[in-house]
Each structure stands twice: as structure tokens, then as C-alpha cells.
Amino acid sequence: MDIIFGINLITKPENIKKKIMKSLLSQLKIKVPALRPKVESIVRGLIGKYIKLSPEYLSFGGGILQQELGVLDPYSSLDDMLAILVSSVTVKMRPVYQRGGQIGGGLTVRAVPTDFYNQVTSLGKYTSEKGFDVPWLEWLLTAGDEVIIKDYGISFGGKAKMFSRTGGPIMRKGGDGWGIGASKSRVPPEFSGVAGNNFVTRAMDRMAPELEKKLTTLFRSKL
């Protein structure tokens, strides 16, 4: 025996779609803002990771920057700077919206507050044996390639290590300055930076692809 039946849709397909979109929009308006703490945690973790992987940070571990800037304990200051940077991270979740048949939203990640450089430059400085103030972190973040100390160079080897704070080169009057062939003192070009382009901002640029990947994974798994 054959049984034949049919279904009549009382609600029009376009109205069904509208109801589904309305329900989805309602859920996303709750779920998306709830992800903000997790996003902040991801961003803070990646900032720490990429700052510590930066050539500048690594060079302070007995490399050319530690030797040329004469810093005995650079990581204490750098880690204090990193703590300020990480604590400054804020995430603003933009409202979820519906536009036609599309549902969208977004988020804004902020770090490096406007007073960041004022906060951290006081962390990385010392007074040399000759009485010179050496604000090495300020130089690294904001001085670029500009001349810092005229008529002082770097002495490598020989008796220099007897008088160096770090067991490496020391500043001496006259000479060639930072690096080989330089005529005046400046941060080595491969490490130098200014307010908008320094080892902190460059680390942020390098972390962007991994941040995007992690956020995509997070949203796909939670929404």
C-alpha cells in the first residue's frame, strides 16, 4: 500500500530565514562580548612572546647591544617595560550587527598607550663611571640613528675589558663610535628605533599573523 502525503509551508521561506537570522544575532550578541577576556589573554601572551624573540631583546643577553650600551642587568628593565606594555592591553568588542543577509562584528586591540614612552624610559638608565647619564632604553626606543654622544667611541679588546661594566667594549674619547666605520655615536642601525618604529612596534608587526590565526580559531570554536 502506498501512502502519499505532502507538507504545506505556512511560513514563507524568507520569513523562516529572518527568524533564523534573528535567533543567531541574539545568540552572538551574548557570546561575542563574553570572549573579550580570552582575547586579551591571547594578545598579552603573544606580546610577551614576540618581544622576547626580538633581535634586540636577545642581543642584550651578552650580544652587541649589551656590550655597546654597557648595561649590566638589561632584562630587569626590559621585563619591567614588558609588564607595563602587557598591562596596557585593552580589547573593545564592536557590537554585533545584521546588514541584509549578513551578520558581522569586530574587535579593536590596543596597546602601547600614549604615555608609554614616558613610563618606560625612566626604567632603563644608569650613570657611567665617568658620570655620564646613559638612558639606554630611551635611546633604543626613540633616538633612531641620531648622534647620541659626540666624540666617544667603542674600544674593543685589549685593556678595554679590564674597565668595561659588561666585560666587553667601553666608551672612550675620540674613536669611531657605535659599530665599524661609524664616525659618531649612535645606536647600531639594525637595532635603532623611533616612537613609531622600534623593537616594540616591530615585534607587534611580527606577531600579527599568529594573532589573527589564534583569534580565528577561537571564534570558530566558540561561536
- Does 27 fall in a domain? no
Sign of CA dihedral 73, 78, 80, 81: positive
Question: Is residue 179 scored above 50 in pLDDT?
Answer: no
- Does 144 fall in a domain? yes
Alpha helices in the chain (DSSP H): 13-34, 36-52, 55-59, 64-69, 74-87, 116-120, 136-142, 160-163, 199-222
Domain that holds residue 120: 34-211
Number of structural domains the chain divides into: 1
For residues 166 and 152, is the Cβ–Cβ distance under 8 A? no
Write down the pTM of the prediction: 0.74
pLDDT tens profile 35-57: 899 999 999 999 999 999 999 99
pLDDT tens profile 156-165: 555 444 445 5
- Does 23 fall in a domain? no
Question: Is residue 152 scored above 60 in pLDDT?
Answer: no
Across 37-69, b (16+ Cβ under 10 Å) vs e yields eebeebbbebbbebbeebebbebbeeebbbbbb
pLDDT tens profile 101-145: 777 788 888 888 778 888 887 888 888 777 778 888 988 888 887
Q: With H, G, I as helix, E, B as strand and everything else as coil, classify residue 140.
A: helix
- Does 182 fall in a domain? yes
